[in-house]
Amino acid sequence: MVQPSTMEADVVVVGAGLSGMTAARKLLGAGLVPLVLEADERVGGRILTQEVMPGVPVELGAQWIGDTHERMFRLAAELGVETYPQYDQGETSYELVDSGVLRENEFHSRFESELQELALVLKRLDVLAADVPVEAPWTAPRALEWDAFTAGAWYDAQGLSPVARNLLEICTVGILAVPTAEVSFLHLLFTIKTCGVTSELFAESEGGAQTTRFIGGTSEIPNRLAALIADHIVLDMPVQLIEHTADSVTVHCRGGVIARGRRAIVAISPTLAGRIMYDPPLPGIRDQLTQRLPNGSAMKAFFVYDEPFWRKDGFNGQLISDIGPARMSNDTCLPGDDHGVILLFLEGDQARTCGRLPESERREALTAELVRHYGGRAAKPEFYVDGEWSERQWTRGCYNANHGPHVWTTYGPALTTPIGVIHWASTDTATYWSAYMEGAVDAGERAAAAVIAELS
């Protein structure tokens, strides 16, 4: 990594997440010199693998890619990171609307008509989402209408049974990490459109967003990427101020370090980008946008057992529950390791309420939930770890920036439009799989391409 004394570059990139490092690498490839300033002591941003015992890395952050994540498959291949498929043999366990705990087959036969309702609603969403231009959602023919109410209000108006409505809430919150009552319906449609269709977004199996994992952990991706551009990354360098002219930026970091360049790419979430001081100050529309894009509330909790005992009982390790505290789970065992690892998701309200309990209380409540689904063996993990992203100073919430009502239609153009020599990246600004790693790469490449075009 470079020393602070050499802080001159063509392009100063703020943030060594996947988006910023992708941008930096592309700039390098075009013969431009990038300098990536990272506030944290590590690269990777919302990707964070933690080895909790030898050979057992767990993903506190981004974990999966899906079949249509072509940029990520390409990147992994280039970096020599191998992939493996998500385990999905066996049944999901359900616990919904006072039905008690039910195995998937039982659940499906008991709630056949409710699941048909759900399928119809998802089809309806696909039809509506098809009309949202991902580059400019505010230009959709019905944008003003759709941006005036919430996804939750639209769901409520579909006349659904409690089972269908709750399933819809659970799978949507599983993506957006805020209650649907906080999400603009236009933003839900935008999210669906950037991912293709609902079956890709929500499905856990073929075609979905969560089919594939990385050998060694997701952090292999940012770590190897960082190794390729190590001379151009400085860690522990929080940016406080960006001075900009018609052809230059001067970036001031905590501690007085200064970096100079011809362009800047700010590759952090919009709410964090809004915390940087800009001189001259940015236009009101950009500033008020960043006030209106709060990061979601997400937390992951991992239980590590001596073996994946649920598999023997015919379970795939996935649970879906409206009792909780976790609404969903996954089998996240590792290839070549005998441990059983189960991941519980706390998102939206659950992250907020359960995330603020003492760890022991949270662990106890989650253990009880696992025991309901998988029996007494679930009560005896070898290891437990969890992580809530709003506590992390340089992230402050996951998975991404939420758009409430009116944000897209009144502030939308300010999300990606460069301001003078300052460009914007991060997955929150992507038009393909926004909020995913794929979107981070998409956004980083887009910002880099724009800068390259300007400087060549």
Interacting positions 335-354 with a copy of itself (CB under 8 A)? 349, 352-353
Distance CA 303, CA 368 (A): 12
In the bound state with a copy of itself, the residue whose beta carbon lies nearer, of 99 and 288, is: 288
Q: Nearest approach, Cβ of 447 to a copy of itself (angstroms)?
A: 23
Distance CA 52, CA 56 (A): 6
Interacting positions 266-305 with a copy of itself (CB under 8 A)? 271, 274-275, 277, 281, 283-285, 287-288, 291-295, 297
Residue carrying structure tokens 């490839």: 29
Rounded to 5 degrees, φ, ψ at 189 are: -65, -40
Which residue among 149, 309, 383, 384 contacts a copy of itself (CB under 8 A)? Answer: 149
- Note whether 358 binds a copy of itself by CB under 8 A: no
- Note whether 250 binds a copy of itself by CB under 8 A: no
Pairing of strands 239-244, 249-253: antiparallel
- Note whether 405 binds a copy of itself by CB under 8 A: yes
Which residue among 329, 330, 367, 390 contacts a copy of itself (CB under 8 A)? Answer: 390
Extract the tokens encoding 188. Answer: 């839900």
Distance CA 414, CA 206 (A): 36
Residue type, 255: G
3-state secondary structure 274-301: CCCEEECCCCHHHHHHHHCCCECCEEEE
- Note whether 309 binds a copy of itself by CB under 8 A: no
- Note whether 406 binds a copy of itself by CB under 8 A: yes
Distances (CA, A) of 103 to 93, 106, 111, 166, 202: 5, 5, 12, 17, 20
Q: Nearest approach, Cβ of 365 to a copy of itself (angstroms)?
A: 18
Tell me how far apart the terminal alpha carbons of the chain are, to the nearest angstrom.
27
In the bound state with a copy of itself, the residue whose beta carbon lies nearer, of 100 and 255, is: 255
Residues 43 and 236: beta-carbon distance below 8 Å = no
Interacting positions 181-200 with a copy of itself (CB under 8 A)? 181-182
Q: Nearest approach, Cβ of 393 to a copy of itself (angstroms)?
A: 4
In the bound state with a copy of itself, the residue whose beta carbon lies nearer, of 29 and 284, is: 284
- Note whether 42 binds a copy of itself by CB under 8 A: no
Q: Among residues 199, 190, 233, 219, which one has the least CA distance to residue 439?
A: 190
The footprint of a copy of itself on this chain (CB under 8 A) covers a number of residues equal to 45
- Start-end of H helices in 30-161: 70-79, 104-110, 112-129, 143-146, 151-156
- Note whether 324 binds a copy of itself by CB under 8 A: no
In the bound state with a copy of itself, the residue whose beta carbon lies nearer, of 271 and 330, is: 271
List residues binding a copy of itself (CB under 8 A). Answer: 148-150, 153, 179, 181-182, 238, 240-241, 254, 256, 271, 274-275, 277, 281, 283-285, 287-288, 291-295, 297, 349, 352-353, 355-356, 388-391, 393, 396-397, 404-406, 410-411
